[in-house]
């Protein structure tokens, strides 16, 4: 899939998971460096915000935006996945006061490769927002074509509200 970064064409290594398809099994790391399997993460409906680098302005704003909405959806998991290391994520959360969203590291690119979102030439995952059910079925997806653009927060949150 083609996306752009500041107008430069980039290609993901595969085709991102389709709506109504099952998210592949993948592993990411939590902020302590422990491996977390998608099987353990999807114990209920989950919103996954994929950001390329938590230390950039758009990624930071996106994560803080969703972090503010966690309390409105007590029955939904909120995750941010980035290619930053667990240590970088932990430091960012402490500096930015983000304590409601769970940040997960895809620094080994397992999620990005299996979901078709990894951009090998840039070493990052494409910015996207996903809602999956407890079986891993994709209920909602938005893949942002220009990586420096913000996701449509309202659409994602309205979709979550429609599930409640």
Tens of pLDDT, residues 17-65: 999 999 999 999 999 999 999 999 999 999 999 999 998 888 888 999 9
User: What are phi and psi for residue 70, nearest 5 degrees?
Assistant: -55, -45
- Which residue, 41, 30, 17, is CA-closest to 106? 30
Residue 93 annotated in active site? no
Can you give the residue range of the structural domain that contains 153? Answer: 2-163
Which helix (H) or strand (E) covers residue 92, if one does?
helix 86-96
pLDDT for 56: 86
Question: The domain spanning residue 125 has which CATH number?
Answer: 3.40.30.10
In angstroms, the first-to-last Cα distance of the chain is 32
Structure tokens at 130: 């996903």
Given the residues 3, 59, 102, 129, the one annotated as active site: 59
**Rounded to two decimals, what is the model's pTM?**
0.95
Q: What is the pLDDT of residues 85-137, one digit of tens each?
A: 999 999 999 999 999 999 999 999 999 999 999 999 999 999 999 999 999 99
- For the chain, the domain total comes to 1
Query: Would you say 53 and 124 are in contact if contact means Cβ atoms under 8 Å apart?
Result: yes
């Amino acid at each position: 899939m083609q996306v752009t970064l500041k107008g430069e064409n980039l290609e993901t290594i595969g085709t991102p998971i389709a709506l109504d398809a099952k998210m592949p099994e993948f592993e990411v790391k939590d902020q302590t460096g422990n491996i977390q399997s998608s099987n353990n993460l999807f114990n209920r409906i989950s919103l996954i915000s994929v950001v390329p680098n938590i230390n950039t302005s758009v990624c930071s704003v996106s994560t803080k935006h969703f972090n503010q909405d966690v309390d409105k959806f007590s029955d939904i998991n909120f995750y941010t996945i980035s290619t930053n290391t667990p240590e970088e994520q932990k430091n960012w959360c402490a500096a930015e006061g983000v304590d409601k969203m769970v940040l997960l590291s895809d620094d080994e690119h397992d999620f990005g490769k299996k979901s078709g979102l990894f951009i090998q030439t840039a070493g990052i995952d494409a910015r996207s927002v996903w809602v999956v059910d407890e079986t891993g079925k994709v209920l909602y997806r938005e893949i942002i074509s220009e990586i420096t653009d913000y996701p449509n927060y309202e659409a994602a949150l309205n979709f979550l509200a429609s599930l409640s």
